[in-house]
Amino acid sequence: MRTGISGQTWLSSSSDAGTSEVAAAFGRLANELGNQDAVSRIAPLLERYNLGLFRLVIAGEIKKGKSSIINALLGELNLLPTSNQIATSTVFKIMYGERKTYRVFFLPEDPDRPEDIQPPLEVSSDQVAEFGTEDGNPGNAKRVDFVGVQLPHPLLKSGLAIIDTPGLGGLQEEHAEITWRYVPKADAVFFVLDSTEAPISREEVHMLKRFLKITPFVFFVQTKTDLVEEGAWQAWKERNLAILGSAIGLDSRKTVYFPVSSTIKHRADSKQSSRDFERSGFAALNSFLQGQLMAAKRRRLAGTLLHAINAEAAGMRRRLNDERLAYSAKTKEERDVLQREFSEAKVRFDSWRVGTYNRIATEFQHALSDLKRMKVEFLQDELDPSPNGALIRPVIDRLRAGGTKARDIDQQAGELLAGLIDSCARITLDIQRSCDEDVARLIAETSERVGRSIQTDLSDTPALQRVLAPCLEMRSLNMPFSLFEDARGALFGGMAGFAMVNLAVSLVFPPLSPFSIMGVGAMSFGTVLTYFHMDVRRREEALGKLQVALSDACRVCQRKGKSALDEALTMAERKAGAAFKEAVKAVETELTRNLEIVAKAQSESKQQAQDELLRLGSLLSRTDAVLRAAAAAIGSLDRSEIVHTAPSATLPA
Amino acid sequence: MIPAPIFGYVDQKAALLKFAEQVPALLLRHPLTAHLSLRVAELDFAEALQSRFTVAVVGQMRVGKSTLLNALIGRSLAPVGVTETTATVNWFRYGEGAICNQFRAHWTDGSTEDVPLARVGEWLGQADNAWRTRALDFFAPSDFLRACNLVDTPGTRSTIAGHEEAVQSFLAEVLETESLRHGGRADAVVYAINPVARRDDSNLLRLFGERTRLPGASAYNSIAVVQKWEHLRPDPMQEAQRMCERLRGQLAGKVAAVLPVSGLVGLSCIELPATVWDQIAHLAAGTPQGVLDELMLAPDYFRDDVSDAVISKEGRTELLSQVSWPVLAFAVWMARARGIASGEALHEALWDAAGIDRLRTLLQERFLALAGLIRAGAVLSKARAPCATALLMLREVREGQSALEERARASHEILARAVAKDKEFGPVLAYVEGSLQSVQAEARLAKEVEEELDGIVHRAEREFRLLERDVECLRWLDALWHEAALEELAPEELMELRRLFGQAGPEIGERLGLAASHTGADALEAALGALERWSRRQWRVRGELQSVLEHAVERLLPIINWLDEKP
């Protein structure tokens, strides 16, 4: 296996400024303190940082060289099937694996019974074309969901996962749904153009606009620069940038655009020539991918981890400090004072908790369940399956007004069905988005209210202040992020996602849409006659059949969307409620503990007290060391602007 | 090999020309019909057969339409650029002299303006002028343009507003108008496509078929031409053929033929000096494999400083400035793959690969020939009236004369007896004899002219009737297909009928759907089988379909007779 040419360095973890070391030191400390809770809270973040998957989606029209780019990037000439004749017809997911393998994953026969599927089938590289190309598997008769490819390659090992999509715009229509399934979860989308067929077309502009509505992380690659003179492909690059500017509003100075040649890259690999590597354009692309995109994601994950460690370590420090305070009180009087303080604090807190705080918490729950009800109802209304609804009526009207022949209606049925499912997916996604925003805002507002209430109601109790403020800072909880990642996964979990034998591959990119055309479309339209009769009556028949099929599909989408959204929001409710409860409980525990410590300190001898003080002192300084290291690591993470395409982008979690 | 075609257009054309030549002369022979001669002579058959048709080139942007057009014409006249260039509908007509250095702009307000060629740049790409232009006319003294006018169109799928609309309105309006003006018969449309057909290609063809399913274009006069295959490897020509094969399946029923063509290579063959091909052949033959591979990697590699290349870096840079990279790469491949060492042989091989001659031939012999014959058929029907009149008159004359002849003979007999009795009646007898001869000559003449005229007209009509009926049936089947009303015909049967009526070509093999490898015996067998099937089927259907099947039988009988006669 090639590791690439000289001058090409793979991402190394040392660029993350010692995050791993900080995490290790923290782990040791927590274990010594017997604080398993802290360890278990940090563990998932640490895992995500270590696994650190970067999801790259390759999209674009047919025969632009998408599969070739991936082969070239990984230095494997025949990894994915490419040829003049065959076209990729299914999704390929490429990840790290010890051994080069191809596994075919199938769709279930019945979309309502997702557990009932053929298990994944391992195939040889010769057999891949039989499942993954239009020639080998026409019309996806073999019901392939995707092909999972594993390759022992350092780039993949450093966290890259690539999705190769079937091209859009060919004579087969079904390939379009990938847009909705994979683009939203992508960390970056490479939109592929070429240097031989034509500059950007209307359809590609249309496609890009859709992509950019979903994610700002869209970058451009122009392939086949070896097939034409430099003047020509440069001119096309200029032209494409101009079109992107005028049609989509992208600033050409900020648009990331790589002209490349996959052929020359392969040559660079076999000749180990850095000149060829430069000329292939992959040097720039690689450097951007690893040096900026992947590194940025890594830094983001590192940042999240370090901040969490920081918060936990700060908590630990505070508790240690309180303990030391208890032990350093020399006289009984001082300890009595401390005891009184802590008791008072506890009492004050309890009354605040059952009073003001309880009120706020209840209001929060109500607001959340109102939101849930509203959103689910809204979804139900939007995905209206009735013939006169906004989704279906215009389609039928248009066909009728245009005098479309019955035969054409039949021919276009698949397309129209796909379009409807498309719309449903888009609407659901939008609602999901707005849910995310609303819930996040609600949580933030509530946290703020609690915080203010603490300020006003409990500010006169210093002991309380010290304990309360950090505990109730909801932002330090890892809930908003991981919850919605999970929710998205559940909402759009899809059929193949869950009952998998090899979970790792499928969960890397849980398919976004449960509305697979293969399932819904086939069953509704399967028995339609091939030829219709000629006159108006027959057109009406055809329209009738079409409308029934569309309604059915819409109903399925509605049902699934509703139940998934409901589930996700219910889970949000539960988790949010639990999170608040936990925070409160943590405070209580600490207050109780403080009292216990004072009592313990009372009962011990002077000598024991001395030893304890020393022990606490050393633990404190270790904690301080961890805090310093974390702060240093956070500080050294480059805070530069993350590269993205649209000027008004919101960053993903 | 199926025996030579007699059902081709050549014979029909010959029959028509014979008609045009002989009938006026024939009519002149008899004083009564002489005035009709002029009426027939006025109908310009030759013009109908020879008049110019319109061949439009449509397709996606940057697929090479303008380059193809230039190759057909034989010179670089249609503007070609690096990005989307053609912005207007451009007509190319035959012209000589000064007019060739200008072009005529037809503004949307109806006025026209003659502009020097040098200023054509003001009408390209996103130029404002394009918006206000209905069409541009260019002229060249090209032989191909004697046969037809060519029309270049802006490409589809472009982001430049107005380009797509220009093509659509061209298809809907202009082609329709042109067609109607010429008697409403078919012209040809060349649809240029990339090696991989897009959904848009299929859509455009469908749209095109629907919109203009009137006297105008149809599946039987559209051709798909595949370009931009020169860079495919390992064997571009084989890949191109394979693509055409696939496309034939995918575009079935929408185009009459699919063939691979390279306007780029063709035009280069026409325009570049022989030294270019010499050099390329020399380079390919003399440079070691590995070095050549290195050079051909990309244009900048071609200009590298390497030893072992038989042409120096400067020489290669110069070469690259003369010939475009795709052509150069293809030529080098060709030279190596075919082991060609001489520039001349290379030039010949490239010209052949470009397929321009094949396309021209296809257009002229099939589409334009058919179009011409259809028009001629229309003209022929105009000749029927005077010919019918002439025949009537001649028959009347003949009948009148034969009555006269009767009486003259009777008189002669009486007089002969009278002369025998009385020598004085001699001169009277001589007179009557003379009259009799004159009448007989008159009758003979009328009879001759009548028979000959009848013969010629009958033959011409018979030839054309079959052809016209072919076209009618094709149109009817087309309509059925579009309406999806084919309850009684399976798709394969539809294809078979279309072929029989000449959609794939007029030769026997093409009508019967047989390959070149089949023999006359195969053809006879196939024809007999088809005859049996259709004649039986004929009685089980009704209405228009029945008469279509009748015509199928009618078509097959002479084919069978002819095949039967040949050994």
Q: Tell me the pLDDT tens digit for each residue of A269-312.
A: 998 988 899 999 999 999 998 888 888 888 888 888 888 888 88
- Beta carbons of A85 and B246 less than 8 Å apart: yes
Which of chain B's residues have a Cβ under 8 Å away from the Cβ of A235? 82-83
- Beta carbons of B484 and A405 less than 8 Å apart: yes
Each as own residue / partner, the long-range contacts of residues B513-521 (CB below 8 Å, 24 or more positions apart, any chain) are B514/B2, B516/B1, B516/B2, B518/B2, B519/B1, B519/B2, B520/B1, B520/B2, B520/B3, B520/B563, B520/B566
Q: What is the structure's pLDDT at B212? A: 40
Q: What is the structure's pLDDT at A644? A: 61
A13-17+52-280 maps to which CATH number? 3.40.50.300
Which of chain A's residues have a Cβ under 8 Å away from the Cβ of B244? none
Q: What is the structure's pLDDT at A88? A: 78
Distance from CA of B288 to the nearest CA of A (A): 18
With a pLDDT cut of 90, the percent of chain A lying above it is 14
Which candidate from A84, A225, A267 shows the least CB-CB separation from B239? A84
| Tokens read off for A33 | 């303190």
Q: Which CATH class is domain B53-263?
A: alpha beta
pLDDT greater than 60 at residue A136: yes
pLDDT single digits (tens) B165-220: 777 666 655 544 443 333 333 367 788 988 876 766 666 666 555 444 333 345 55
> Which one of B67, B199, B228 would you mutate to disrupt binding with A, by most A Cβ within 10 Å of its Cβ?
B199
- Beta carbons of A230 and B326 less than 8 Å apart: no
Q: What is the structure's pLDDT at A14? A: 43
Nearest CA in chain B to A232: B82
| Tokens read off for B418 | 């009278």
- Beta carbons of B484 and A531 less than 8 Å apart: yes
Q: What is the dihedral of CA A312, A318, A324, A326, to 10 degrees?
A: -120
pLDDT greater than 60 at residue A202: yes
Question: Are A472 and A451 contacting, i.e. CB atoms less than 8 angstroms apart?
Answer: yes
10 Å CB burial of residue B162 (0-12, 13-18, 19+) is: middle
Which of chain B's residues have a Cβ under 8 Å away from the Cβ of A280? none
Which candidate from A203, A227, A228 shows the least CB-CB separation from B157? A203
Element (H, E) at A147: strand A144-151
User: Measured between alpha carbons, how far is A554 from A557 in angstroms, rounded to an integer?
Assistant: 5
Tell me the pLDDT band of A51, cut-offs 50, 70 and 90: confident
Which of chain B's residues have a Cβ under 8 Å away from the Cβ of A205? 159
Distance from CA of A92 to the nearest CA of B (A): 22
pLDDT single digits (tens) A562-577: 877 787 788 778 877 7
- Beta carbons of A170 and B198 less than 8 Å apart: yes
Cβ-based neighbours of A74, under 8 Å, separated by 6 or more: A94, A151, A153, A155, A156
ipTM score here?
0.71
Q: Which single residue is written with the structure tokens 């798709």?
A: B491
Of B159, B160, B103, B164, which Cα lies nearest the Cα of B135?
Answer: B103
Q: How far is CA A52 from CA A163, A502, B184, B548, in A?
A: 16, 19, 69, 70
Name the amino acid, one letter, at A31.
Answer: N
Greatest mean pLDDT among A112-116, A581-585, A595-599: A595-599
Q: What is the structure's pLDDT at B208? A: 53
10 Å CB burial of residue B96 (0-12, 13-18, 19+) is: exposed
> Whole-number mean pLDDT of chain A?
76
Residue spans of the domains in chain B: they are 9-47+370-394+447-565, 53-263, 267-354
Question: Are A536 and A517 contacting, i.e. CB atoms less than 8 angstroms apart?
Answer: no
Spell out, as residue ranges, where chain B has pLDDT lower than 50.
1, 3, 5-6, 175-186, 210-217
- Beta carbons of A171 and B299 less than 8 Å apart: no
Q: What is the structure's pLDDT at B356? A: 95
Distance from CA of B325 to the nearest CA of A (A): 6
Query: Partners of B59 in the beta sheet?
Result: B192
Nearest CA in chain A to B302: A229
Nearest CA in chain B to A224: B298
Q: What is the structure's pLDDT at B501? A: 84
The segment(s) of chain A belonging to CATH 3.40.50.300 are: 13-17+52-280
Query: Comparing A264 with B211, which gets the higher pLDDT?
Result: A264
Q: What is the structure's pLDDT at A471? A: 53
Q: What is the structure's pLDDT at B154? A: 84
For chain B, the farthest-separated pair of C-alpha atoms sits apart, in whole angstroms, at 122
> Which one of A68, A171, A173, A530 would you mutate to disrupt binding with B, by most B Cβ within 10 Å of its Cβ?
A171
Q: What is the structure's pLDDT at A524? A: 33
Question: Are A150 and A43 contacting, i.e. CB atoms less than 8 angstroms apart?
Answer: no
Tell me B448's DSSP state.
H
